[in-house]
Amino acid sequence: MNDFTYYNPTRIEFGKNKENDISTYLEESSSKNVLIVYGSDRIKDNGLFEKVVSSLNKKNISFKELSGVVSNPLLSKVNEGIKIVKENNIDAILAVGGGSVADSAKAISAGSKYDGDVWDFFIHKSEIKETLPVYTIMTLSATASEMNGNSVIINDDTKQKYAISSVLLNPVVSVINPELMASVSKEYLAYSAVDVISHCIEVYFTASVHTAFNSRLVESIIKTIMETTEVLLENPNDYDARSEFAWAAIQGLNGLTPAGTKDGIFPNHMIEHSLSALYNVAHGAGLAVVIPAWMKWYKNNNEKQFSRFAKEIFSSDDSFAAIIKLEEWFNFIGASTTLESVNIPRSGISPLAQNASELAKVWGMGEVYTQKVIEEILEKA
Amino acid sequence: MNDFTYYNPTRIEFGKNKENDISTYLEESSSKNVLIVYGSDRIKDNGLFEKVVSSLNKKNISFKELSGVVSNPLLSKVNEGIKIVKENNIDAILAVGGGSVADSAKAISAGSKYDGDVWDFFIHKSEIKETLPVYTIMTLSATASEMNGNSVIINDDTKQKYAISSVLLNPVVSVINPELMASVSKEYLAYSAVDVISHCIEVYFTASVHTAFNSRLVESIIKTIMETTEVLLENPNDYDARSEFAWAAIQGLNGLTPAGTKDGIFPNHMIEHSLSALYNVAHGAGLAVVIPAWMKWYKNNNEKQFSRFAKEIFSSDDSFAAIIKLEEWFNFIGASTTLESVNIPRSGISPLAQNASELAKVWGMGEVYTQKVIEEILEKA
């Protein structure tokens, strides 16, 4: 087993109506003036926003709003948030939404305590040293942003989709009320399922050192996600399935699965980020395209783990057949697996590979994942 | 799924030589004067104590010592520690040892910031509100005390083995260097394996609401513990097996397995505590006696979960046969499963049951676990 540090100080408040206690949680860190970050007006139409405001009012916590976060969150919106924070003496950021909203809240938190350009953190020009406390109320489960210190943002100008990670950005408290997720569309449920599975398999397949416990943990998450996605496609109001999905999604990227493994990397995310950045493909939709192609390209590098995957997930002795089965399952739940299906023409492969190969360098995998190799992978999609 | 709060702020520093950095971790919480709590002089003989002192010296952290913690840790020793802390202005407690040492350190931490008798917390007469930071360097993996807020102590006077639990007692940092565990005797390895399995199965079998993910997590832990115990009995120096064992043991009782379940209780621990308290049986040895007897007595209350256990752990369709297989496995690794094997005569059953039924009341399960019922269970052992 490889040496590691595991530290995840986020508190999860899981269950019905917990959003009504958000001001109690904010009060614990003495927050008196928060910035509420969200996406569309959907949370105003369905009453969630009012519940939050009513909770804040009870404890005399004042607030400002930042709306309009989109599903591939933009740096321009983050900068808008940082400006509001600095001008209004905001002392905490409250994200109400999905992963994009949480990621934007974290980037705002990092930028609010920094004199330079927040993008410096994303291009590793500067290190995050101080942040504002982040809280979340999640309306979509996929990214595990609610229990990690990661934030992925697209730079509108440069079309780069880059990431930051710091335990200082871990939410202090995240509220997970599965009832708030019941209205997620079937399309986004499918993308979310693909996203969670992608978090699990990246390190599972690419690590040079595996641990039996962590492989089992990954398989437990994948089985739970597949099982509950199928239930939820039939019945979106199944509370238990929605809960299991939400909790398994969190485990997928809260730092637990890679603990003790070595050299694990995120090539599928690296490639997908270009699909999102250049074609504005939803993250999960892009991953559904990239993953089967990457698995076919990569399989022979870790036949042992692919065999294990085939056996545990699909009770199959044929590791190639298992890739096809996963691809079929993605299509079955509504996440298409070809570039064509997400409206990317063959002529798009070269610029995508060029964009991705730049991120590969930033993420330290540029030697293997050259533009040529990424083109080869995308050709399989 | 049941509502829950999950919050575990302990940082795990896992790997070789990490004990040498203990002063760096202590410095993070501005500790300048620590109490080192340990058991026998073994840590002085094998050089670990000197490594710790050398690390402290580097950062000018002074220290006092409390030695002589025994494997069923005593309240008298805890009070001795509290006295040292109060008289010497100690600002952090550093446990170097196994679960008993960590538990003693936590009780000292709680008592040091309290004007009354620390036992008040154990009998629920008072609530823990302030503590000193606790750090651990573990030399034995079993109790997961290194990543939870639990402490189990025996009151020498009343012969009660009672527990406290508070997130304020979670260690700030726990150092897990599997190399420090290589010298654990085969006997204690076996007891540790039984202890971890016991943590996993209590809620797994007794909860009225289960979750698929958490059942899978429990099964992952049990499989990993069984696998690695067998490897370590053959080769105590297998670093990877020792590491997997240590990490799985932590997952067994760090709050993750019961999240989302409902009504789970710890009847095996409740009964075993009397074996330890009245006959000074090692905790794991006592559990090996109690568990198979309890499983036979309880099985019909949750046939579904017992069938699942049989299938997942022993690939068996017969849930009673799986209990026998587990019993055989306990005996195989060296943890005997009869009262006779731990030198408790039949005449001891009645006083044991009487002692345990008192704890059952404190733990809120007195209605089911009466003296008569506990006698019935122990008769099966």
For testing contact with chain B, the best of A3, A245, A311 (most B CBs within 10 A): A3
**What is the pLDDT confidence band of residue B43, given thresholds at 50, 70 and 90?**
very high
Quick check: B171 and B102 in contact, CB under 8 A?
A: yes
10 Å Cβ neighbour count for B50? Answer: 11
DSSP state of A299: G
Q: Which CATH number fits domain A185-379: 3.40.50.2020, 2.60.200.30, 1.20.1090.10, 1.10.20.60?
A: 1.20.1090.10
Q: What is the DSSP code string of A177-238?
A: -GGGGTT--HHHHHHHHHHHHHHHHHHHHH-SB--HHHHHHHHHHHHHHHHHHHHHHH-TT-
Indicate the residue of B4, B10, B243 with minimum beta-carbon distance to A14. Answer: B4
> How many contacts does A have with B, using Cβ atoms within 8 A?
109
What is the rounded distance in angstroms from the CA atom of residue A212 to the CA atom of residue B223? Answer: 9
Average pLDDT over residues A249-264: 95
Distance from CA of B371 to the nearest CA of A (A): 37
Q: Does A6 touch chain B (CB under 8 A)?
A: yes
pLDDT beyond 90 at B244: yes
What is the rounded distance in angstroms from the CA atom of residue B92 to the CA atom of residue B98? Answer: 18
Tokens of B307: 């069938």
Indicate the residue of B5, B9, B13 with minimum beta-carbon distance to A12. Answer: B5
Question: What residues of A are in contact with residue B8 (Cβ under 8 Å)?
Answer: 8
Indicate the residue of B5, B213, B221 with minimum beta-carbon distance to A11. Answer: B5
pLDDT beyond 90 at A84: yes
Amino acid at B72: N
For testing contact with chain A, the best of B4, B5, B6 (most A CBs within 10 A): B6
What is the rounded distance in angstroms from the CA atom of residue B204 to the CA atom of residue A240? Answer: 17
Distance from CA of B52 to the nearest CA of A (A): 19
What is the rounded distance in angstroms from the CA atom of residue B124 to the CA atom of residue B141? Answer: 28
Distance from CA of B318 to the nearest CA of A (A): 22
**What is the pLDDT confidence band of residue A253, given thresholds at 50, 70 and 90?**
very high
Contact A9 B13 (CB under 8 A): no
What is the rounded distance in angstroms from the CA atom of residue B96 to the CA atom of residue A60? Answer: 46
Q: Does A3 touch chain B (CB under 8 A)?
A: yes
Residues of chain B with pLDDT > 90, as a percent, come to 96
Contact B244 A220 (CB under 8 A): no
Q: Does A224 touch chain B (CB under 8 A)?
A: yes
* pLDDT tens per residue across span B270-327: 999 999 989 989 999 999 999 999 999 999 999 999 999 999 999 999 999 999 999 9
Tokens of A339: 């570039």
Helical spans, DSSP H, in B173-256: 186-206, 212-234, 239-252
* pLDDT tens per residue across span A144-153: 999 999 999 9
pLDDT beyond 90 at A161: no
For testing contact with chain B, the best of A2, A5, A6 (most B CBs within 10 A): A6
Quick check: A73 and A14 in contact, CB under 8 A?
A: no
The residue count of chain A comes to 381
What is the rounded distance in angstroms from the CA atom of residue A16 to the CA atom of residue A99? Answer: 20
Residue of B nearest to A215 (CA): B220
10 Å Cβ neighbour count for B288? Answer: 33
Q: Does A245 touch chain B (CB under 8 A)?
A: no
Q: Three-state DSSP class for A152?
A: strand
Residues of chain B with pLDDT > 70, as a percent, come to 100
pLDDT beyond 90 at A341: yes
Q: Does A229 touch chain B (CB under 8 A)?
A: no
Residues of chain A with pLDDT > 90, as a percent, come to 96
Question: What residues of A are in contact with residue B260 (Cβ under 8 Å)?
Answer: 14, 243-244, 247
Quick check: B295 and B377 in contact, CB under 8 A?
A: no
Average pLDDT over residues A210-229: 96
Contact A213 B11 (CB under 8 A): no
Contact A260 B247 (CB under 8 A): yes
Average pLDDT over residues B127-135: 98
Q: Which fold has domain A11-180?
A: Rossmann fold (3.40.50)
Contact B244 A12 (CB under 8 A): no
Amino acid at A352: L
According to the model, what pLDDT value does residue B159 have? 86
Q: How open is the CA angle A176-A182-A185, to the nearest 5 degrees?
A: 120
What is the rounded distance in angstroms from the CA atom of residue A94 to the CA atom of residue B252? Answer: 33
Contact B6 A12 (CB under 8 A): yes
Q: Does B174 touch chain A (CB under 8 A)?
A: no
Residue of B nearest to A171 (CA): B7
Question: What residues of A are in contact with residue B1 (Cβ under 8 Å)?
Answer: 14, 178, 239-240, 243-244, 247
According to the model, what pLDDT value does residue B363 have? 87
What is the rounded distance in angstroms from the CA atom of residue A13 to the CA atom of residue A29? Answer: 16
According to the model, what pLDDT value does residue B34 have? 98
Contact B220 A220 (CB under 8 A): yes
Closest CA to B252 of B208, B197, B214: B197
Mean pLDDT of chain B: 96
Q: Three-state DSSP class for A26?
A: helix
Closest CA to A101 of A62, A129, A135: A135
**What is the pLDDT confidence band of residue B161, given thresholds at 50, 70 and 90?**
confident
What is the rounded distance in angstroms from the CA atom of residue A22 to the CA atom of residue A38? Answer: 15
* Reported pTM: 0.95
Task: Give φ, ψ of B13 to 5 degrees.
Answer: -105, 105
Indicate the residue of A8, A12, A217 with minimum beta-carbon distance to B220. Answer: A217
The residue count of chain B comes to 381
Domain boundaries, chain A: 11-180, 185-379
